[in-house]
Structure 1
């Protein structure tokens, strides 16, 4: 066990790391819905619009978050999710991953952001995925650092595995020759709003403070003298202005992205879109001030009301048109890369993988929207 992992024992659901919405977020208008409110959403055929001609004038580089642990959640945590390829296992079989890669490549996606840091099975999951035929896709670690620390993972062992298995290979996504690594929920390290976050914040101080801790990450993830390109997920914390502790931590990274802005509220689409616009604008301003890249995160909606394992009633209506709106918005603020959450997180209802969710079969509708933005 490393010093960074010491004292952070225990396992928690993914929703427990979500922070209370800042006052500017909480004041947004919300719309109450119930578990049965699925008929209020437009179907993909009603919302789908032709995007290729409109969007292809300025194509974007797209990375898509990939969730490898969803396989053992079908039937246990969710009974309303049915991938077109059938309910696959954990780890995702290489044959299924090959088909997933084909869909993503056909949509013009350049990079798979592979979720790592959840559990001891992650090394097996990534190794299995890398054995698939990934075609032209590159792979980028999407390291869930707050989960890793909360679950007392040996993150140095994770980093060693990533160096040997991915970062040192041609398959790794690079920016200016540097391997790119994105850290989910990075502000957890400066938050201090819960007992385990306080411990994580102290560990940052023990490494010499924010600058020293980021230097530590660079040292751990450097391969053959080449430093990594570090991107942090800042969620929507830039709205209204970053707290000082967040600013001091975040400014030492090379880039930023934003996870889906859902906590416990139920959001209507207009409220969501407006809040995301504020978040994109504020985060881009921060990145410009600190000479950082900005990779805004988009999504088609969100629905964990069906999730019997860690769902907390969070809901944003799903529709291909919603993904298109956020991609258009993200293109305005991006410095060259746009992210999508996610390819296959069926447990939280933001997947674009073809299949059936609740009462809606949508085939490649969401992937077709992405293709409209990647076409040259």
Structure 2
């Protein structure tokens, strides 16, 4: 990538074996990198004037996908991780900010905002080997970063680890073992030895581990499901093995309940047999009785809902066996699974008794006068 000549630039300058100086355009050294030989990868970054240690980078190998960068004075640890699958991409976190190296550029990630370029490098074509580095201070000044010097050291240290990994890869490629050329391949007149014509025998295959049986096979089948307190009854396995497996689960004091469910509709009767076998084993061992709660037809059928428009035959038996069943065996009472008792509907309350309204004296006098007048009219009618 082309660099800006007006910005501060550091040039990678090898000075000795495993030693590299980072110098500016005037030739002044600002940093010194030294790789420590040994069985594991270790790189140190110094101040060339005071020879003070600034940072170290360690990893099992220079080509490891995780490197640990440790800053000195103050001490801080930064993990440099390879996050790319098919592309070059390394990420690290510094002071709650996330940074990502992409080949010749380093960005500060600001999701959902676009990333900001904070460093650029210059590499020769076809090789991941940094020759020049520029830290873009004008972009870093836009953000709140307390240890600006520490961030600069982390950026430079990570770049030096990339250079070491690239040198190791090219060294292994150039010094790789060459396949020996046989004299028969170089000269067709040389007769081939009988041993060269015989095919190489294939090594014998490793024997398969023996298949587990009994309770071990039941435990292996349930381990695939990943649920420790659920036992799915399948066609494979006997009722006795399932019952003993469930009884063994209750031996753990932390196991308060076990759910035994059917794997398919054909295993519904087998689930009930396993439940009875489990309770029989506990009763024989004189252990406390278990609470039992049964749920059936709780699974929603897959696919579109089918509406039956056929006429219902009252003579036909309406009972259908359940398609799935779940039996909860518990050491404690489970109130949420207890059947709800339907209370009878209460009769409506009787109508209220309406007491006759008490007449006032005025109304009573008016009623008596009307009654007297009615009697007088009746007498006059008889006399006529």
Q: Please classify the TM superposition score into its range, dividing by the shorter chain length.
A: under 0.3
Higher helix proportion (structure 1 or 2):
1
Q: Highest Rg: 1 or 2?
A: 2
Indicate the structure with greater strand content. 2
Higher relative contact order at CA 8 Å, sep ≥6: structure 1 or structure 2? 1
